[in-house]
Amino acid sequence: MTTIFSDRMEIKESGPYRITRETDGLYVVGNGLICPVETQEEAEQMLRELLSQNAPSSIKDH
Protein backbone atom coordinates (compact mmCIF):
# COMPACT_ATOMS: atom_id res chain seq x y z
CA MET A 1 0.00 0.00 0.00
CA THR A 2 1.25 3.48 -0.84
CA THR A 3 0.15 6.72 0.81
CA ILE A 4 0.24 9.84 -1.36
CA PHE A 5 0.40 13.13 0.54
CA SER A 6 -0.96 16.49 -0.62
CA ASP A 7 2.54 17.55 -1.71
CA ARG A 8 2.61 14.43 -3.95
CA MET A 9 5.17 12.67 -1.79
CA GLU A 10 4.56 8.92 -1.80
CA ILE A 11 5.51 6.50 0.95
CA LYS A 12 5.05 2.76 0.60
CA GLU A 13 4.07 1.47 4.02
CA SER A 14 3.78 -2.20 3.11
CA GLY A 15 6.68 -4.56 3.60
CA PRO A 16 9.01 -4.98 6.57
CA TYR A 17 9.74 -2.23 9.07
CA ARG A 18 12.46 0.12 7.85
CA ILE A 19 13.77 3.68 8.03
CA THR A 20 13.30 5.90 5.02
CA ARG A 21 14.50 9.43 4.34
CA GLU A 22 12.12 11.60 2.33
CA THR A 23 12.44 15.23 1.23
CA ASP A 24 10.69 16.41 4.39
CA GLY A 25 12.45 14.16 6.91
CA LEU A 26 12.85 10.68 8.33
CA TYR A 27 10.12 8.08 8.73
CA VAL A 28 9.83 4.61 10.17
CA VAL A 29 7.57 2.65 7.84
CA GLY A 30 6.39 -0.89 7.29
CA ASN A 31 3.52 -3.26 8.05
CA GLY A 32 1.01 -0.45 7.46
CA LEU A 33 2.85 2.08 9.65
CA ILE A 34 4.09 5.54 8.66
CA CYS A 35 5.67 7.40 11.59
CA PRO A 36 7.70 10.60 11.25
CA VAL A 37 10.76 10.86 13.51
CA GLU A 38 13.10 13.73 14.34
CA THR A 39 16.49 12.01 14.30
CA GLN A 40 18.27 8.92 13.01
CA GLU A 41 18.71 7.79 16.62
CA GLU A 42 14.96 8.07 17.29
CA ALA A 43 14.28 6.12 14.10
CA GLU A 44 16.71 3.36 15.08
CA GLN A 45 15.24 3.11 18.59
CA MET A 46 11.69 2.86 17.22
CA LEU A 47 12.78 0.25 14.71
CA ARG A 48 14.43 -1.83 17.46
CA GLU A 49 11.27 -1.64 19.57
CA LEU A 50 9.00 -2.61 16.68
CA LEU A 51 11.22 -5.51 15.68
CA SER A 52 11.51 -6.80 19.26
CA GLN A 53 7.71 -6.77 19.66
CA ASN A 54 7.30 -8.84 16.51
CA ALA A 55 10.16 -11.26 17.10
CA PRO A 56 9.17 -14.84 17.83
CA SER A 57 9.48 -15.66 21.49
CA SER A 58 12.43 -17.79 22.51
CA ILE A 59 10.36 -19.28 25.36
CA LYS A 60 8.68 -22.49 24.35
CA ASP A 61 5.42 -23.73 25.84
CA HIS A 62 5.65 -27.10 27.55
Q: Concatenated DSSP letters for the chain? A: -EEE-TTS-EEE--SS-EEEEETTEEEEEETTEEEEESSHHHHHHHHHHHHHHHSPPSPPP-
- Please tell me the predicted confidence (pLDDT) of residue 27: 94
- Please tell me the predicted confidence (pLDDT) of residue 21: 93
Distance separating alpha carbons of residues 47 and 20, to the nearest angstrom: 11
- Please tell me the predicted confidence (pLDDT) of residue 10: 75
**3-49 pLDDT tens trace:** 666 567 778 888 999 999 998 899 999 999 999 999 999 999 999 99
Residue 62 has pLDDT above 50, yes or no: no
Domain boundaries, the chain: 2-54
